[in-house]
Amino acid sequence: MGACVSNETCGSQRVNATVSPQDAAHPVPETSFRGVFFNPQVTVPDGQPWLVSYPLCRAQIRTALHELADTAGINLVAIFVCIRDSLKEPSQAPREGQPLAEWANLAYLNNVAAFVGDCHEAGVAAEIDLATNMWVPCSVEPTHQIANQGTWPMPSEAPWNESAMWYREAINYIEQQAEHPESIAMWCMMGNYALGPAEPFLWEIAGKPAVLPNIEEFVKRVWPVFRIAGKRPKAAPILLPIFATDAYWGAHQMYLPKIDHSPEVRLSAFSNLKRWLVDDMGLPPDYWVMTTYPFCDPAPDGVHYLREIVRILGPENASRIVSTDLKGPGHDNERADSVIPAEGRSGPEMLEWHFEKCAEYGFAGWWIWAYQDSSRATSGIRTVTGEWKQDLVEVMKKRTEGR
């Protein structure tokens, strides 16, 4: 199908404008990204996300950003900006053509812009993952829509229209309000209809043949609008390799992949998205962002998965790949339900492997999950009470020597 490639509303009216692959491309920075997913454990009212109550915790966040740069050598933090938090009514999607002030929680968007400024002050760049749940029509998957919870907007039968508008308006507004928009390393087109802030389903789901074609339509209608919004670099949706076992997927029937354990199927998200964005539309991203499992290259099945990923995306694009969300220290449960368990490997060994592989393949950089432990997870480089995990920090700090 054709794709809407204008900064105007992408809806039922077909737009004839075209965008060349160079129009939105930005040069890859000489300094590689060294980052963390930023999840500060701060006390805010009613358990709200910290960005919602940013004025109340801003001093703590500023301190944390400076400490990350000084102590761990970090130059990038990744955050989620979710559509529900950006709306005056979290369950009410913006309507096509509706003025921003009518539907947007401007206080929240201003908080994001202020956070970008605080990143600049600390010498840290921000990857902003914009997450909307409206990826497929409600009729295509009515049972597992996160919107059924009542705190996310319910998608229409053409959710790409509202989503394209939301991405565009959020990007334009935040860049205009930020004092230093150059500190936005990239915008990433994210979201999941069932899980909200998560990698989108870019593979065929068993028993739900209509999902993938609708996600393809979403990508082809929304990506051209997303790509030319604002001025900062754009990242394609985060790619997920399918290393989880059938036991893991079986416990999550809502998105059970059609899997035959072949490398082609495990990496189908990569081949699908590359085909849609590059082969079909000729609109490559500034960055390809992917989730990484430690010791997947080579994996126990003998496949060099990172090598395969570079082959799929193109060796000429290796310097635009950001290896993220490392399933490393504190991700024991996820690895236990995968074909790459990494048993007997220490946290520092996992980080060293990750960093060496990124250097070997010439990737644009990396970020790991996460900055801080929480009451439910121990994947941070700081404990829930703020102590640094020195063995991990020392490995990270080495990467800044001579830079």
- pLDDT-derived band at 13 (thresholds 50, 70, 90) equals very low
Helix (H) / strand (E) element for 252: namely: none
> CA-CA distances (angstroms) from residue 47 to 44, 53, 112, 195?
6, 10, 18, 19
pLDDT of 262: 86
Average pLDDT of 339-351? 88
Residue predicted with more confidence, 138 or 261: 138
DSSP annotation of 403: -
pLDDT of 150: 94
Backbone angles phi, psi at 215, to 5 degrees: -70, -40
Tens-place pLDDT, residues 119-141: 999 999 999 999 999 999 999 99
- Which tokens in the block code for residue 110? 């201003």
Tell me if residue 384 falls in helix, strand or coil.
coil
Is 211's pLDDT higher than 70? yes
Average model confidence (pLDDT) for the chain?
89
Average pLDDT of 158-169? 97
Is 370's pLDDT higher than 80? yes
* Interatomic CA distance for residues 271 and 290, integer angstroms: 13
Q: In what order do the strands lie in the sheet with 33-37?
A: 234-235, 184-190, 125-131, 76-82, 33-37, 365-368, 321-326, 288-291
Is 27's pLDDT higher than 80? no
> CA-CA distances (angstroms) from residue 86 to 166, 167, 169, 207, 249?
9, 11, 11, 33, 31
Pick from 302, 291, 294, 308: nearest CA to 352: 294
pLDDT of 248: 64
Is 65's pLDDT higher than 80? yes
- pLDDT-derived band at 2 (thresholds 50, 70, 90) equals very low
Pick from 360, 245, 358: nearest CA to 368: 358
In one-letter notation, the amino acid at residue 176 is Q
pLDDT of 44: 85
Is 22's pLDDT higher than 80? no
Average pLDDT of 223-227? 98
Whole-structure pTM value: 0.91
Highest mean pLDDT among 38-52, 284-298, 325-339: 284-298
Is 170's pLDDT higher than 70? yes
The percent of residues above 70 in pLDDT, for the chain, comes to 88
> How many angstroms from the chain centroid is the CA of residue 126?
12
Average pLDDT of 37-63? 93
Minimum mean pLDDT among 105-119, 217-231, 253-267: which range?
Answer: 253-267
Is 288's pLDDT higher than 80? yes
- pLDDT-derived band at 304 (thresholds 50, 70, 90) equals very high
Pick from 197, 176, 183: nearest CA to 115: 183
Average pLDDT of 61-66? 98
Beta bridge pairs of residue 192: 196
* CATH architecture, domain 33-398: Alpha-Beta Barrel (3.20)
Residues, the chain: 403
Average pLDDT of 13-34? 47
